[in-house]
Amino acid sequence: MSTGNRMARGWIAALSLALACWLGATAGHAQQTADGIRTEPVRVVTVTRPPFSLVEDGEETGFSLDLWRAVSADIGVETEIMRVESFAEMLDMIRAGEADAAVANISITAEREAVLDFTQPIFEAGIGIMVPAREKATSSILGMLFSRDLLIAVAAAFGLLVGAGMLMWLFERRRQPYFDHDARGALFPAFWWALNLVVNGGFEERQPRSPAGRVLAVILVISSLFLVSVFVARITATMTVEAIQNSVASINDLYGRSVGTIEGSTAAGLLDARDMRYRGFSGLDPLITAFETGELDAVVFDAPILAYYVNTAGEGHGELIGAALFRENYGIALPTGSPLAEPINQSLLKLREDGTYETIYRRWFGTSG
């Protein structure tokens, strides 16, 4: 056999082997895609952010997690959910490759995109402002005006008027007919005289005639000026506080107030950009606790999460003001170069087209997405 024939056969064998390897890899990739990208479960990390991610009756649920379940079922993968305490920890796990996907209310930002990959948006949101509910503020006003201390003061004032009137009866009962009654019969006339003295300066025709009565009348008039001034000042101060509390209509009204948000959030970035001082919290629970205990005048955070709070656990505690600020989109975060990106994006498009996304959205938000 000639050397040329042997070389030709060698080349043919090499090409055949290469083609077989390529076909095998392609078939394997196709089979892997058909079987759901991978055989092991996808490690999904999340953080508690109602209504996007929460534990309810021992079950992992929420809008984002329900949407992920629909995606995972569509692309044929199993899921292992890992719940962590903080948002930063969740994103760090994606960067470190300790998780395959992060699902919650994750804003798609340029800074995060530089170190992570994102799917197409799964939710359109914005930053909201929450302040104490007006119903609660009104209740607070009534509580201050009719507090135990104030009621005691009013009762003491009535007692003082009755006592002063009866003392005047004692001084004047033999000097003018108005006070010419026995003790029981003089009770209301004496009280009425003292009340008119305090409010109107007294009766012209009922001026005290005894020296002791005149001294008592002068003391009552001077004391009444002080007591009425204190009462009016208390009401005025309370109404002023109410007016200040209800004057928050936009983010520009938050300067100089106690504002809270979560550290590292897009809301914190917005406040930083406006040079606004705020208290940063590690998580949602301590932030809400500080708001409910009156430590904060306002909370600036993701509008959908604040809306969910004021309509559920926070009903009567807080209310949203103004339109949402800084429109943003949430996405599923993935490690850079993740092979899951394309299948997930295709599935998200499919779920929007077949109505599955709309069904999940209405389940959690009650309106069209």
- Angle at the Cα of 299 from the Cα atoms of 334 and 281, rounded to 5 degrees: 60
Q: Can you give the pLDDT at residue 142?
A: 57
Query: Which of 206, 226, 242 marks a domain boundary?
Result: 242
Residue keyed to tokens 């009401």: 235
Q: Which two tokens stand for residue 106?
A: 């994750």
Burial class from Cβ neighbours inside 10 Å (0-12, 13-18, 19+) for residue 275 reads exposed
Q: Can you give the pLDDT at residue 198?
A: 74
Looking at the fold, whether 238 and 144 belong to one and the same domain comes out as: yes
Looking at the fold, whether 151 and 221 belong to one and the same domain comes out as: yes
Question: pLDDT confidence of 330, banded at 50, 70, 90?
Answer: very high
Looking at the fold, whether 262 and 291 belong to one and the same domain comes out as: yes
Residue 188 belongs to a domain:
yes
Q: Residue 266 maps to which CATH number?
A: 3.40.190.10
Looking at the fold, whether 153 and 225 belong to one and the same domain comes out as: yes
Range with the poorest average pLDDT among 41-55, 209-223, 259-273, 317-331: 209-223
If one counts the domains in the chain, the total is 3
Question: pLDDT confidence of 24, banded at 50, 70, 90?
Answer: very low
Looking at the fold, whether 287 and 313 belong to one and the same domain comes out as: yes
Strands 59-61 and 259-262 turn out to be unpaired
Containing structural domain, residue 252: 131-136+247-327
Provide the percentage of residues in the chain whose pLDDT is more than 70. Answer: 79
Residue 81 belongs to a domain:
yes
Q: Which residues pair with 61 in a beta bridge?
A: 54
Query: Which of 242, 277, 295 marks a domain boundary?
Result: 242
Residue 9 belongs to a domain:
no
Q: Can you give the pLDDT at residue 323?
A: 82
Q: Which two tokens stand for residue 306?
A: 């604040």
Looking at the fold, whether 157 and 210 belong to one and the same domain comes out as: yes
pLDDT digits (tens, 9 = 90+) for 188-243: 888 887 777 777 766 555 677 778 877 887 787 777 777 777 777 766 665 565 55
Q: Residue 164 maps to which CATH number?
A: 1.10.287.70
Phi, then psi, of 269 in degrees rounded to 5: -65, -40
Q: Which amino acid would we find at residue 345?
A: N
Burial class from Cβ neighbours inside 10 Å (0-12, 13-18, 19+) for residue 193 reads buried
Looking at the fold, whether 233 and 168 belong to one and the same domain comes out as: yes
Residue 217 belongs to a domain:
yes
Question: pLDDT confidence of 34, banded at 50, 70, 90?
Answer: very low
Closest to 90 in 3D by CA, of 260, 264, 271? 264
Q: Which two tokens stand for residue 105?
A: 């209310």
Q: Which amino acid would we find at residue 102?
A: A
State how far the alpha carbon of 59 is from the alpha carbons of 62, 67, 84, 235, in Å.
10, 15, 15, 50
**Residue 141 reports pLDDT greater than 70:** no
Residue keyed to tokens 């005048």: 297
Over residues 117-136, mean pLDDT? 90
Looking at the fold, whether 226 and 271 belong to one and the same domain comes out as: no
Residue 46 belongs to a domain:
yes
Query: Which of 212, 242, 272 marks a domain boundary?
Result: 242
Residue 206 belongs to a domain:
yes
Looking at the fold, whether 210 and 169 belong to one and the same domain comes out as: yes
Residue 73 belongs to a domain:
yes
Looking at the fold, whether 118 and 150 belong to one and the same domain comes out as: no
Helix (H) or strand (E) holding 132: strand 123-132
- Angstrom distance (rounded) from CA 52 to CA 304: 9
CA quadruple 343, 99, 64, 90: dihedral sign:
negative
Residue 33 belongs to a domain:
no
Q: What is the CA 158 to chain-centroid distance, rounded?
A: 44
Looking at the fold, whether 318 and 335 belong to one and the same domain comes out as: no
pLDDT digits (tens, 9 = 90+) for 241-300: 555 555 677 888 899 899 999 998 999 999 999 999 999 999 999 999 999 999 999 999
Looking at the fold, whether 63 and 110 belong to one and the same domain comes out as: yes
E strands of 240-290, at which residues? 259-262, 279-281
